[in-house]
Structure 1
Amino acid sequence: MTDLDAWRDLPADQQPEWEDPAELAAVIAQLAKQPPLVFAGECDQLKDRLAAVARGEAFVLQGGDCAETFDGSSADAVRNKLKTLLQMAVVLTYAGSVPVVKIGRMAGQFAKPRSKATEIRDGVEHPAYRGDAVNGFEFTAEARRYDPRRLLQAYYCSAMTLNLSRAFTKGGYADLRQVHAWNQDFVSSSPAGQRYDRLAGEIDRALAFMKACGADPEEFHGVEFYSSHEALLLEYERALTRIDARTGLPYDVSAHLLWIGERTRGLDDAHVEFMRHIRNPIAVKLGPTTSSDDVLALIERLNPDQEPGRLTFITRMGAGRIRDALPSLVEKVTQSGAPVAWICDPMHGNTFEAPSGHKTRRFDDVLDEVAGFFEVHRALGTHPGGIHIEFTGDDVTECVGGGHEIVETDLHQRYETACDPRLNRGQSLDLAFIVAEMYRKTH
């Protein structure tokens, strides 16, 4: 057994109990023959960008669906998500005078951890929905069967999403002037538009100045874009791990960046064991119960050589706990000298159930957690390295609040998520302008 398979002897949480091992083995063998979705050199480039984040020289914008769906892997859906991400990035880049590393939570986010293995409705019990890579959302015995053939469909949908993303980000769609024009349209129609008008005007004048000077850098016409997802299904991730011909080292070519979730970050568990052997940049989600000893042990296990850009911590504390839970972690890591990038996930710690039964989040709670994240880093003299959000480019009604003021009684109108509630396009752009203001105050 190679090091890449040592995880098989360890506890592995959140893995589906596939019914037919032979069927799973056949699918895994087929996956292992597929072309890489990303390339090792791209992963190394992202590692360099994240090293700059850890040094305080760049900011991460990471976002996308809570759980992608096969039906949602369409050109329109991918374009709308990219459009929103690019709009947010322009605002953050200008306001912070800082390079923004753009990472999609897409092209692979087809599996989700669940708190319960089964779901009961009206006395009927079926396996929980674990994402389209595992089973279907419809509440029937057939749809909820754990079907390994879905792993292949997840691969093909990821390939399509990445191809579209590369075309959009390199083919003129991401041109800075065009993206800024979208922001101007948003500002003019936003209830909070006057608040954002000054910043949008500043960007407009800066672009006009560059044009008058005859400056037309390549960076204006295309952007670097990277993919990421939670490395939850270990059989899938192992099947897509390849040995890089340049270096002889293993890379998981399912995405540029992979992360370990809060539920699966046990130091002696299978996910940490698998991830410590691949050479991609990796991240770990940290909830409010994380201790400083946990964090230092994760650094020792996942980045013992203290390679810059290798390890990122994504905090998901909740608005009411981040100011108390985060400082000791940041202090201990800073004292250790380990090069770590810190990113705030203000979504997962702020979920609640509305009277209608819909899972939702308050936009003000999301903002408050980001504010707490910035306050902690400002107080400690460390770098708030980025935000990690769940959003869609569509005008859904899944989170309450924001400039267009969605209320709890609106949730049923366009509640389309397959799992957790996402910010819609307007809320995402509201967040970008407000985070830009926060960043300006810390630098």
Structure 2
Amino acid sequence: MLTAPTRSRHTSRTAAQQPAWIDPVTLHRVIGDLEKQPPLVQPREVDRLREMLGRAAAGQALLLQGGHCAETFGEQALDEVENNVGTLRRMGRALSYGTGLPIVPVGRMAGQYAKPRSRSTETRGEVELPSYRGDAVNGPEFNERDRAPDPWRMRTVYDESAAVLERIPDGACHVSHEALLLDYENALVRVDPETGRRYSGSGHMLWIGERTRQLDGAHVEFAAGVDNPIGVKVGPTATADQLLGLVELLDPGHRPGRLTFITRMGAEGVTEVLPELVEKVASSGSPVLWVCDPMHGNTRTADNGLKTRWISDIAAEVHAFVRIHRALGTHPGGLHLEMTGSHVTECVGGFDPVTSETLGERYTSACDPRLNRGQSLELARLAADLWTRN
């Protein structure tokens, strides 16, 4: 039986992107309750995923990571889980068939309820309220009651994540999310009594976002203290020294499958920035797994004000990612996508094209635009071709 460690380690490090909780008594009560709950995932499952990611890092497999930008609470979201997992598995079959490599499917699910924001507040007219930070923190409606950060929502995250895991078919995929809310993440760390190793019980794989990957920050400190596979989002401002510093802090033992760099450069920036980063990290001897997130660097605002992404930009970044790794003799290790198995109209393009004019017809994302089912499968087939040709 896994045991809860002593209450979260105190740290003087800055924790970026945390909510301004207004009720410390309730926060303390929620954290205490979460510390008593069983972990959502087990060490043997985590270790198994790390082994699989290690093979991907060695060029013997590909990681396919996908799911919602931000999960939401409620039965409707739970009803979509099986369809989303099914779409991810179909994408994996297409990618495997085209490349001849086994696929490691990992869902962005069962924990992806919190989102970083570029601004802490949102203003409409003369009204200023806290920004929506995902259902783990507050609600999307623009009113004082919905936007007030509520610690009890973290308890709901646990219950909803457990319900999602129950609806994932056995053996279909591991789960992952951004380890953003440190109150929640620390409360679910458990110690394996057989090995003494510390694991996050909130998900099999966790990642640190572009906004929270500071070397001296609390998120990196947290990730260094658990034995799960860790991803780090890497944007166009990243430097080789920063990535080498992350390697030293998060994977000093150079364990295959422990550390994944998820690049999100944008179609215009990837060619200029990525080669030096890959080359210098590879020269260090680190067995990092490199994965392409072609979504976050390619967000646009349509004429109707909706955020969107163009399939042509997404494909261009994937193409450049593969081409750069082939030129350097390194392995382009997979894809990280925001996608859904539903027929939404949030990204522009595809064989059954979504246009700028039809974006609003079925735009249901809680935050950023996702590939729909058809676009996801098209991209998987295109990616398989790119991996084979380059």
Q: Is the 8 A contact 1:73 1:161 kept in 2?
A: no
Q: 1:372 to 1:356 in 2, by over 3 A?
A: same
Counterpart of 2:62?
59
What's the RMSD between the two structures over aligned residues? 1.3
Answer 1 or 2: which has greater helix percent.
Answer: 1
Answer whether contact 2:85 2:172 (CA < 8 A) is retained: no
When the two structures are superposed, what TM-score results if normalisation uses the length of structure 1?
Answer: 0.85
For 2:194 and 2:84, locate their aligned partners in 1 and report how far apart those are by CA, in whole Å. 33
Percent identical residues = 53
Structure 1 counterpart of 2:269, from 321, 330, 342: 321
Cα distance per residue 1:46-79 (max 9 Å; x no partner): 0101110110000000000000000366443001
2:342 maps to which residue?
A: 394
Listed as ranges, the matches of 1:54-133 within 5 Å are 54-71=57-74, 74-133=77-136
Structure number with larger C-alpha Rg? 1
Correspondent of 1:240 among 188, 196, 200: 188
Query: Out of 403, 408, 421, which is 2:369 matched to?
Result: 421
Instruction: Determine helix, strand or coil for the equivalent of 1:334.
Output: helix
Matches of 2:209 and 2:10, distance apart in 1: 16
Any unmatched runs of 5+ in structure 2? Answer: none
1:373 to 318, 321, 331: 321
* Aligned twin of 1:19: 22
2:166 aligned to 150, 163, 168, which one?
163
Alignment of 1:250-329 (within 5 A): 250-329=198-277
Structure 1 residues 338 and 72, CA gap change in structure 2 (3 angstroms) = farther
Q: Deviations over 1:110-131 (max 9, x none)?
A: 0000000011112111100000
Q: Which residue of 2 aligns with 1:405?
A: 353
Which amino acid in structure 1 is aligned with residue 111 of structure 2? G
How many Å apart are 1:5 and its aligned residue? 4.3
CA deviations on 1:226-272 (whole Å, 9 max, x unpaired) are 00000000010000000012211110010000000000000001000
**Do 2:111 and 2:177's aligned partners in 1 also have CA atoms closer than 8 Å?**
yes
Aligned to 1:34: 37
Indicate conservation of the 8 Å contact 1:7/1:271, yes or no. Answer: no
Aligned length: 386
- Partner amino acid, structure 2, of 1:321: G
Q: Secondary structure at the match of 2:232?
A: strand
Letter in 2 for 1:393: G
Query: Structure 1: which 5+ runs fail to align?
Result: 171-222
CA contact (8 A) 2:89 2:172 kept: no
Letter in 1 for 2:82: R
TM-score by length of 2: 0.97
Mapped to 2, the partners of 1:4 and 1:34 lie a distance apart of 14
Partner residue of 2:302? 354
